[in-house]
Chains A and B, each alone.
Chain A
Amino acid sequence: MDALVLARLQFAVTTSFHFLFVLLTLGLVTLVAITQTRAHRRGDPVLWRMTRFWGHLYVINYAVGIATGIVMEFQFGLNWSGLSAFAGDVFGAPLAVETLVAFFLESTFLGLWIFGWDRLSPRLHLALIWLVALTAYASALWIMSANAFLQHPVGYELSDGVLRLTDFGALLSNPTFGSALLHVLTAALLTGGVVMAGISAWHLLRGTAETEFFRRSMRQGVIAAAVSAPFVVGAGIAQFPIINELQPDKLGEDTGALGIPLALMMNIGVVLLITNLVLAHMRRRQPRWALWLAVLAIPWPFVAAISGWVFREVGRQPWLVYGLLRTEDAASQTDPTMMLLSFVAFTAMFAALAFLDWRLLAKVARRGPVSTPEFVPQEVRAW
């Protein structure tokens, strides 16, 4: 295989794995922040335990996934040095802002939140989780504006064969940015809600002791999913006229295989919307079939999200920067053997990482909230 195909495959694999982590992180952090706020206001012990339990799952997913973000960032320079040389001035700006404003601050706040339970004032500790959530959203905002630039370049001029930034604000008023951002953010919240409801439903089906805990968790997850799902679908549909106008090839007659991920995403979106609206209406007791429905829903938002990205990114081809830079012209001149080696190594690492992450999440989720006191243990437990 030639280096270009490998570089593209590597990018697809890296982004997909990265996004699996990001999607759940973004969704759960919002729900954890909301739960902690409610706990803070009401002083309800169940809500406090909910904050810790779901917070634990969130932190595991964040901490295991952080490495995929680092590889993601390096990959532009490693495999696509033509992109930085040609469009780095414009494309690099939102990316740099993302790492500074969002990622840098987010990890700093999160480190304090994880370890700060007993030693920061409750108010500061609550503020920290909201700061984590805000910076995570800011992260999504800047990444999506960088991606929107690749879809529909704006705010630049071409001089001496490279792009120069002329209008930073244009990156944020890009028509391929706003609705796509809303789509991604609400999809993350939907995912967080579906996962929270699904895990809770599993415990309710098993009849574990924590009925009160998981009934309330399920309610919260279902409501989050039901509220966000219409926005996910709406913001998705809102992108069609924009795509028709700016990237007519994407939805043209001969898109062929691209129709599959698109249809998959749309069908999953609609099914999840209906499911969660139905579940949200069952106020008191959910019948067993409804609980099963919630459990079985867990993997689907992830499938839909990856399908959505495949549609958006593959549909941009053959362009890397739409209309300006072809993908084949942006690839680094790397030895194909080396490229194959790195592709295999990264893919294996990511697959192992995702497997371990989900195994661990499943383990902690199965154990239920009893595990949460160890979140901040009283002494070093040497084992």
Chain B
Amino acid sequence: MVTLWFVLLGVLFAGYFALAGADYGTALLMRAAPPERRREVLAATGPFFLGNEVWLVAAVGVLFGAFPRLEGELLSALYPVLVALLVALIGYTAAVQLRGRWHAGAKAGWDALIVGGAGIVAVGWGVFLGALLNGLPLDADGHRSGSLFSPVAVVSGLAFAALVAVHGAVFLTWRSTVDVRRLVPVLSRAAAVLVGAVVALAAVGVTGVEPLIAVPGAVAVIALVLVAPRLSPARATLCTGLACGLPVLVIGAARWPVALASTADPAGTLTVAEAAAGPATLGVLVWFAALVLPLVAAFQGMCWWAFRGDRRPVFW
């Protein structure tokens, strides 16, 4: 049961990164479009925006309900990163909603908030993933006793931002007439190199990660971003989406059975079993998950189907 919930947690985070990655990635490239075409950039993710972002809410909800101890330790240990990320996320979501509805003179300000906000969110999640991979300096009580920034976490921040940017570029090529195709090869190579750098740094400085999972996982991510520029835009988006979603699954699997590794006091290491709620809680929650997840999948699938060929809908 604990394993099932850990997988589910990973899937929800992976879904969030893959889906909302398109929101942030397209936003990052907003300035690549001429000012009069920028609304199209937002329109490209328009019908899916709420559905994409809410995967995060579901993931954190499951983190709290099914792994309360991981939630408390992880979030409070990553405090500065998450505060910056959340502030940026608020600014970004609000700017997306308000840009088209405010007077025309303020567009440049909203654009800056959208690009900057999406950038901080993307780098922030990369640092988050890097900290999971690298481990955090925790004391025996699970409180952070040193800096949360490690070389792995920092490079991982850049690598994830690059992954998200490639995803955004191919998504825009698929769903809009904004021409960012020229950026795709450059961004895809940059993402591949940065992901490679994370792996290299981790190979030197990180222990407790299963290489038989981590290395093929990283190779898959690199292959997906490198192959994307050669494919049709829709298939390329699928590939880059997978590349955004995979890292959290690979890190979770390679760290198993540890949920949060301590680089300081070994007693601070939190295993998945220790982090999980009791069997009664998990048993109750599983019914709700079994009811809801197929419904969400069906209705979000319906949303993608309903707007499959359509590049027009503009609400934002």
| A interface, CB within 8 angstroms of B | 59-60, 63-64, 66-71, 73-74, 76-85, 87-90, 92-93, 95-101, 103-112, 114-116, 119-120, 164-166, 168, 332-334, 338, 341-342, 345-346, 349-350, 352-353, 356, 360, 363-364, 375-383
Contact of A99 among B53, B57, B93 (CB under 8 A): B57
Contact of B49 among A93, A111, A168, A360 (CB under 8 A): A111
Assess whether B68 is in contact with A74, with CB atoms less than 8 Å apart: no
Assess whether A69 is in contact with B57, with CB atoms less than 8 Å apart: yes
Q: How far in angstroms is the closest Cβ of chain A from B262? A: 15
Contact of B53 among A66, A76, A89, A381 (CB under 8 A): A66
Determine the chain A residues whose CB is within 8 A of the CB of B314 once the complex forms.
377, 380-381
Q: Smallest CB-CB separation from A66: which chain B residue?
A: B93
Given contacts A104-B292, A376-B313, whether A97 and B285 have CB atoms under 8 Å apart is yes
Complex: A322 Cα to B246 Cα, angstroms:
42
Assess whether B72 is in contact with A97, with CB atoms less than 8 Å apart: no
Complex: A378 Cα to B314 Cα, angstroms:
9
Assess whether B64 is in contact with A70, with CB atoms less than 8 Å apart: no
Determine the chain B residues whose CB is within 8 A of the CB of A110 once the complex forms.
50
Q: How far in angstroms is the closest Cβ of chain A from B59? A: 9
Assess whether A74 is in contact with B60, with CB atoms less than 8 Å apart: yes
Q: Does B213 contact A (CB under 8 A)?
A: no
Assess whether B71 is in contact with A120, with CB atoms less than 8 Å apart: no
Complex: A99 Cα to B47 Cα, angstroms:
21
Assess whether B65 is in contact with A345, with CB atoms less than 8 Å apart: no
Q: Sort A-B residue pairs by CB-CB distance and give the 3 closest, nearest first.
A: A88-B68, A96-B65, A99-B61
Given contacts A70-B86, A109-B299, whether A115 and B315 have CB atoms under 8 Å apart is yes
A–B Cβ pairs within 8 angstroms, 15 of them: A73-B60, A78-B75, A85-B73, A95-B64, A96-B66, A99-B60, A100-B61, A100-B292, A115-B47, A164-B278, A165-B284, A342-B83, A346-B86, A346-B87, A378-B312
Q: Does B231 contact A (CB under 8 A)?
A: no
Complex: A100 Cα to B313 Cα, angstroms:
27
Determine the chain B residues whose CB is within 8 A of the CB of A101 once the complex forms.
288, 291-292
Determine the chain B residues whose CB is within 8 A of the CB of A100 once the complex forms.
58, 61-62, 285, 288-289, 292-293
Contact of B46 among A69, A115, A120, A360 (CB under 8 A): A115
Assess whether B64 is in contact with A88, with CB atoms less than 8 Å apart: yes
Assess whether B62 is in contact with A93, with CB atoms less than 8 Å apart: no
Contact of A382 among B36, B292, B307 (CB under 8 A): B36
Q: Does B230 contact A (CB under 8 A)?
A: no
Q: Does B295 contact A (CB under 8 A)?
A: yes
Q: How far in angstroms is the closest Cβ of chain B from A139? A: 11
Q: In the complex, which residues 13-56 of chain B have their Cβ closer than 8 Å to any Cβ of chain A? A: 36-37, 39-40, 43, 46-51, 53-56
Determine the chain B residues whose CB is within 8 A of the CB of A78 once the complex forms.
75-76, 79, 82-83
Q: Smallest CB-CB separation from A345: which chain B residue?
A: B87
Complex: A77 Cα to B63 Cα, angstroms:
10
Q: How far in angstroms is the closest Cβ of chain B from A135? A: 10
Contact of A381 among B39, B68, B76 (CB under 8 A): B39
Q: Does B90 contact A (CB under 8 A)?
A: yes
Given contacts A93-B284, A104-B296, A349-B91, whether A382 and B37 have CB atoms under 8 Å apart is yes
Given contacts A382-B39, A382-B40, whether A120 and B313 have CB atoms under 8 Å apart is no
Complex: A299 Cα to B89 Cα, angstroms:
28
Complex: A352 Cα to B314 Cα, angstroms:
25
Q: How many A-B residue pairs have CB under 8 A?
A: 247
Determine the chain A residues whose CB is within 8 A of the CB of B285 once the complex forms.
93, 96-97, 100
Q: How far in angstroms is the closest Cβ of chain B from A103? A: 5
Complex: A254 Cα to B48 Cα, angstroms:
52
Q: How far in angstroms is the closest Cβ of chain A from B287? A: 9
Determine the chain A residues whose CB is within 8 A of the CB of B43 once the complex forms.
380
Complex: A185 Cα to B5 Cα, angstroms:
32
Assess whether A380 is in contact with B312, with CB atoms less than 8 Å apart: yes
Given contacts A165-B281, A380-B314, A383-B104, whether A103 and B98 have CB atoms under 8 Å apart is no
Q: Does B207 contact A (CB under 8 A)?
A: no
Q: Which of A67, A96, A166, A375 has the most C-beta atoms of chain B within 10 angstroms of its own C-beta?
A: A96
Q: How far in angstroms is the closest Cβ of chain A from B78? A: 9
Assess whether A112 is in contact with B102, with CB atoms less than 8 Å apart: no
Assess whether A105 is in contact with B299, with CB atoms less than 8 Å apart: yes
Q: How far in angstroms is the closest Cβ of chain A from B199? A: 29
Determine the chain A residues whose CB is within 8 A of the CB of B295 once the complex forms.
105
Q: Does B80 contact A (CB under 8 A)?
A: yes
Q: How far in angstroms is the closest Cβ of chain A from B70? A: 9
Given contacts A77-B71, A100-B58, whether A95 and B83 have CB atoms under 8 Å apart is no
Determine the chain A residues whose CB is within 8 A of the CB of B244 once the complex forms.
none
Assess whether A67 is in contact with B65, with CB atoms less than 8 Å apart: no
Q: Which of B54, B58, B292 has the most C-beta atoms of chain A within 10 angstroms of its own C-beta?
A: B54
